[in-house]
Structure 1
Amino acid sequence: MTSQTLAAAVDVDTLKKAVSGTIDSWEDRLRQVSRIIHDNPELAFEERLAAETLASIAEEAGFAVERSAYGMETCFEAVRGSGDFTVVICAEYDALPEIGHACGHNIIATAALGTGLALGEVADELGLRVVLLGTPAEEHGGGKALLLEAGAWEQATVSMMVHGAAGNEDFSCAITHSQAVDRFAVTFNGRAAHAAAAPHKAINAGDAATISQIAIGLLRQQLPDGVRLNAFVEHGGDVTNVIPARTVVSAEVRAHDLETLEDIKERMLNCFAGGALASGCTWEVAPTEPRYENLVQNTLLAEAWDRNLKALGRTIVEVSGLGGGSTDMGNVSHAVPSIHPMISVLGASGVPHTIEFATDAGSPAGEQAALDGALGMAWTTIDMVTNPETREALLALQAARRPGATRSPALG
């Protein structure tokens, strides 16, 4: 079926009412899923209950489900439909240490499931291939970067997810962004000696760490707005009477684009080199997890999302959101046309990564945000596939990708 034939054969309003009806029919189960995931927080790569909960429901709804997909235990891939237009809907479900779902990944997972259930019912009618992808380890670990390397988006035409936020209005997706972040560890090696009897025999790796941190602090004055440097001493010695032969500093650099990040990271590494030179230590650097790239919102998808949220009666504000955080969905957005909008838990007062927001994420308002997010993504997908020009443009981008183009190495 060509795009023009498809457009002539479907009524968009009827389709949107149909997917809305599907989400309504699953509402009680979806709210239950949000509560199950919220009340049983699981850390990165340990999200067994969340992954199985989502996979089992997708299977019940007629999806072909592969558990432990792409060699990752808590990843699953659920597929329904065999059309030429593949939408990959990302379900995050990892929690934060100590404060549980303070980033609202129960909302993300539930919204993704709802979207998949809704689109699955109309997939054949729309020439769609719907992929619900469970993506572990967003908070730390770079699950999507690892899945990209494994080929999870090789057949994708577009990809999307929605993230919870606080407030009474929603940020416009078209101008919502995130920072790139590069995390690494620097190890200094010197020579131990008794701190009182023979300090002159030592090469103090603790000094190297201290000098480096002072240099980083001074560097911050010369940085562009929005750039962030953070570091802490992960290991700095064992006892007071032995000058440490080895210290480890964990560090990260964030910037709004990859070019700036590369430049600032080089300058930050020079601070570590200076610490090593001044103290007489040797030093080495290694990544601690995959780099998270900055988020690139696809204009066609983002504008459709904003229109559909307004159609749901929600208020869109034209100000930038999610400016200081980072997400591995940024990596996906560099590989395929994607969106990562925010949806507010209406009335929430806490901000993400706080106990207050963890409470809000588990509230009825959090459940409603997931339902609205599911419908917004489903309607946005319908807009993309029923508009002949948009569909052809997105399929042309997919066709132009060389095989393996999405499989970027997770660690560079």
Structure 2
Amino acid sequence: MRTTPPEEHSASEEPGSSALRDRCRDVVRRNEAALTGLSRSIHAEPETAFAEHRSVAKVADLLAEHGFTVRTPVAGLDTALVAERGSGDLVVGICAEYDALPQVGHACGHNVIAASAVGAALALADVADEAGLTVRLLGTPAEETGGGKVLMLEAGLFDDVALALMVHPGPEDVCLPSSLAITDLEVHYTGRAAHAAAAPELGRNAADALTVAQVAIGLLRQHLEPQQMVHGIVTEGGAAPNIVPARTAAVYNLRAAEARSLQRLENRIRACFEAGATATGCAHEIVQISPVYAELACDHWLSEAYRRAITDLGREPLDRSTERGRVIGSTDMGNVTRALPAIHPMIAVECGDAVNHQAEFAAACATPSADRAVLDGAVAMAWTALAAGLDGTQRARLLAGVDDRAREGSTEQFCTSGGVA
């Protein structure tokens, strides 16, 4: 669901909202040590996709201490979580990520995401009765690869969610970022081993097959459409130089501005993979290793409410014209924003020249600046949800969206097709 551009409307402050905002901020302040401690603890023990057992337990324990009903595992995922408090008709979904990257740990700052999500949940739970909210924290594993949010969408855990929120650390405060659609493909080549010197003619070289595919992809780059990207690594390249490799494998990320462009790119990359097999006489297999991530389509009204919130907290987000050019990579939150009103703003941490997915950024995500991002992100999300819940027009819009999705089955249709809503 897309809304009117932000320049055309603004939310008015409802009577009593100031007091509720103050209560939200007070809850976060009272729990500062627990929230920053959670962030630092998750950072100190990084766990990769679908293996975030310690991390999800830390999130679950803190929420349970504060009276949340916690369920884990859910959606058939061992490290997914749902925690709830409140009984209002407006269900606010707060997404917590906590998976890390191989080798560089929390170089995307998911420890900050998890702790800020918990802080927002605690804050909103304190005012849920007055604001008519049900607060649902969704612990979503495997964002870096695996698509935990897509799988949880398909399992129906977002069906009655009226709005979804999360904040993601980065070098700048960006209220309405853009992202690229992405699919992950793994290619396997199978040839025939032979002695590389005594009988090379008996071999079918799987490494050569992969080399041909890489060359074909390299030559294709000059013909890629704007915002199409291809990047990959070799994950299996052979055992010894004197053995003709019988097996090789590689993983490639394919990105594009939107789903249709991504499909066109995938068709061409699959042809490059096939060329390697044809040229060398090897067999090949292509496996999609994650669900397709859609591009972000964030809700403009919620983004503007978030902009006001972080500005009130003393932050200076990029202006609207500048942030239009900020592409943050790819995220499975894109699928959520395509299914229901949601936002995925970036919250700044002091990281020098570093950017996400660098070891230096991982270090920056366990600093006083990152601790501040946890607290500011929690308050800003709580204020954003509160603004929506107390605005009669927006509340009606969000609740009508839930009813529309239930009637049309649009969320399920999007998730299973991988298409554009």
- Shared fold by TM > 0.5? yes
Paired residues, number: 402
Residues 1:302 and 1:405: Cα distance change in structure 2 (over 3 Å): same
Aligned to 1:108: 113
Give the SS at the match of 2:83. strand
Distance 1:50 1:231 in 2: 28
Q: Which runs of 5+ in 2 are unaligned?
A: 1-11
Q: Which amino acid aligns with 2:354?
A: G
Aligned to 1:372: 376
Residues 1:73 and 1:263: Cα distance change in structure 2 (over 3 Å): same
Distance 1:322 1:306 in 2: 16
Aligned to 2:24: 19
State the superposition RMSD in angstroms: 2.2
Q: Which amino acid aligns with 2:66?
A: A
Aligned to 1:360: 364
Q: Which runs of 5+ in 1 are unaligned?
A: 1-6
Matches within 5 A, 1:1-80: 10-80=15-85
Give the SS at the match of 1:86. strand
Matches within 5 A, 1:268-283: 268-283=269-284
Distance 1:33 1:198 in 2: 59
Q: Which amino acid aligns with 2:62?
A: I
Distance 1:356 1:236 in 2: 29
- Structure 1 stretch displaced more, 179-188 or 42-51: 42-51
Residues 1:8 and 1:290: Cα distance change in structure 2 (over 3 Å): closer
Residues 351-409 of structure 1, C-alpha deviations (whole Å, 9 max, x = no match): 22222222221111111111111111111111111111111111111111146543424
Give the SS at the match of 1:147. helix
Residues 1:380 and 1:225: Cα distance change in structure 2 (over 3 Å): same
Distance 1:190 1:28 in 2: 57
Identity %: 44
- Structure 1 stretch displaced more, 400-409 or 260-269: 400-409
Q: Which amino acid aligns with 2:246?
A: A
Residues 1:34 and 1:191: Cα distance change in structure 2 (over 3 Å): closer
TM-score, length of structure 2 as denominator length: 0.89
Q: Kindly indicate whether residue 405 of structure 2 is the aligned counterpart of residue 401 of structure 1.
A: yes
> Which residue, out of 329, 339, 353, partners 1:325?
329
Aligned to 2:125: 120
Distance 1:101 1:247 in 2: 29
TM-score, length of structure 1 as denominator length: 0.91
- Structure 1 stretch displaced more, 108-117 or 237-246: 237-246
Give the SS at the match of 2:411. coil
Judge conservation of contact 2:159–2:402 (CA < 8 Å) in 1. no
Aligned to 1:215: 216
Distance 1:192 1:50 in 2: 43
Q: Kindly indicate whether residue 158 of structure 2 is the aligned counterpart of residue 153 of structure 1.
A: yes
Q: Which amino acid aligns with 1:388?
A: G
Distance 1:15 1:384 in 2: 13
Residues 1:215 and 1:9: Cα distance change in structure 2 (over 3 Å): closer
Distance 2:353 2:372 in 1: 16
Q: Offset of 1:349 from its aligned partner?
A: 4.3
Judge conservation of contact 1:345–1:365 (CA < 8 Å) in 2. yes
Matches within 5 A, 1:185-196: 185-196=186-197
Distance 2:350 2:231 in 1: 32
Q: Which amino acid aligns with 1:50?
A: S
Q: Which amino acid aligns with 1:242?
A: I
Distance 1:309 1:339 in 2: 14
Distance 2:277 2:328 in 1: 31
Q: Which amino acid aligns with 1:208?
A: A
- Structure 1 stretch displaced more, 93-102 or 251-260: 93-102
Q: Which amino acid aligns with 2:42?
A: I
Aligned to 2:100: 95
Q: Which amino acid aligns with 1:303?
A: E
Q: Which amino acid aligns with 2:344?
A: H
Q: Which amino acid aligns with 1:107?
A: V
Give the SS at the match of 2:252. strand
Judge conservation of contact 1:67–1:76 (CA < 8 Å) in 2. yes
Q: Offset of 1:143 from its aligned partner?
A: 1.6
Aligned to 1:300: 301
Give the SS at the match of 1:242. coil
Distance 1:122 1:34 in 2: 24
Aligned to 1:4: none
Q: Offset of 1:159 from its aligned partner?
A: 0.7
Residues 1:204 and 1:298: Cα distance change in structure 2 (over 3 Å): same
